[in-house]
Structure 1
């Protein structure tokens, strides 16, 4: 694992965007795996600024998002479809047909949606670079503690901790969905390269377990210790240095 230490969230966002921009400029037909949540927001802002001012093109890029809530319409402000359009996809020249986010509204056959999403990634040649955030409890995507490392894209019941952490985006905890569709840990691990973004003191314990602890399904992020090409970008707070 390659650890890049930065002073703060702004530097984290800048460094992550620089890595992605160079990858796309070197390979315009790049397959990019994306994450939602507050951590990558700054990175997306800088990608949009670069596209508008520097001209980096996404016309031949394909994107694959990690996850989506079950039972929320795509146009709901709390859906990850909406999030991605607001923060990145609606502001760059990417073809809509090249953007892929799990469909959490196939209520009649969510399992088939999981299988189709897995197949779509494989048929597209796999993910060249997957961006990940880190949950306070060590989850990646919505793969909660105890998720088997061999899991493919699947439906997950969200833990109380995760629902409480995400409740700030909703009017109440009761509105937070109880389930999500997420890339599995084995799906994530098939990515050719992974970038993990970690910001804030609340993530320090989970990050320490990745850097210093044993690899265990009880802390899903520790599986990255088995991947051959991982870059961690972490600020001082996440590293416990302030």
Structure 2
């Protein structure tokens, strides 16, 4: 795992955007697949990706976007449904065609319909050839997507109940906690691990404990984000506050400095 610590959230966003562009361009596919997270963590990243599109360094015209999760039970067009959020924050500014955005179906009228929709989403991901770069945030309780603590590390897309902690944290987007849905459809941890590159973005003191548990704690269902340790190409881009509890910080910084130096020498060779 590569751990990069930057001084500010703005620098985190810029460096994370480089990781995404490198992963999508390096995939060399005519229709690259970008895994999309919602919430506050990736907002700066999406703004930087929009700058990359404007500068001609990234073209998502033929890309496909796959969301990590969706609430169950929101009315069509609800402003806090993740489809609507991604239409605003990704499709419009990044030039990703709306018809190429895929979101888990949370509109099922009963459990059977929701389960069938989750299975269909897994098939759609497989049919697209898998995710090239999966953008991830992390919950204060260590959740990844909406995989709450206790989620099976090999889980696939499915219906999940949201924890009280997650609903309280997300209440800021609604008119109070009681308005936050109690259930969701989320990619499973096993589904997330199928992506070719994982990118975790985290800023702020509130994420420090979860980040430390995910990156340096045991691989455990108690901290779903710890599955990043199991991935061959996982990158965590953090600000100082989010990284404040990391025990191996000196090693991460030294490793990052070495990579930067080699990159500079390689660039000069050209």
Q: Please give the TM-score of this superposition, normalised by the length of structure 2.
A: 0.85
Matched, 1:163 2:183: no
1:54 partner SS: coil
| 2:2 alignment partner in structure 1 | 2
Contact 2:17 2:45 in 1 (8 A): yes
What is the aligned counterpart of 2:45 among 35, 38, 43?
A: 43
What is the aligned counterpart of 1:118 among 122, 125, 142?
A: 122
1:120 partner SS: helix
2:59 and 2:5 map into 1 onto residues whose CA distance is 29
| 1:23 alignment partner in structure 2 | 23
Larger Rg: 2
What is the aligned counterpart of 1:81 among 75, 80, 83?
A: 83
Q: List per-residue Cα deviations over 1:180-206 (Å, max 9, x = no partner).
A: 000001000111110111111111111
Q: List per-residue Cα deviations over 1:57-105 (Å, max 9, x = no partner).
A: 2111111110010011341111111111111112233233321111111
| 1:68 alignment partner in structure 2 | 70
Matched, 1:141 2:145: yes
2:199 and 2:74 map into 1 onto residues whose CA distance is 28
Contact 1:201 1:237 in 2 (8 A): yes
2:67 and 2:49 map into 1 onto residues whose CA distance is 16
Matched, 1:220 2:224: yes
1:43 partner SS: helix
Matched, 1:236 2:243: no
Contact 1:74 1:81 in 2 (8 A): no
Contact 2:23 2:132 in 1 (8 A): no
| 2:192 alignment partner in structure 1 | 188
Report deviation, 1:55: 6.1
Unaligned runs of 5+ in 1: none
2:16 partner SS: helix
Over aligned residue pairs, what C-alpha RMSD do you find?
1.4
| 2:56 alignment partner in structure 1 | 54
Matched, 1:175 2:198: no
2:106 partner SS: coil
1:103 and 1:90 map into 2 onto residues whose CA distance is 21
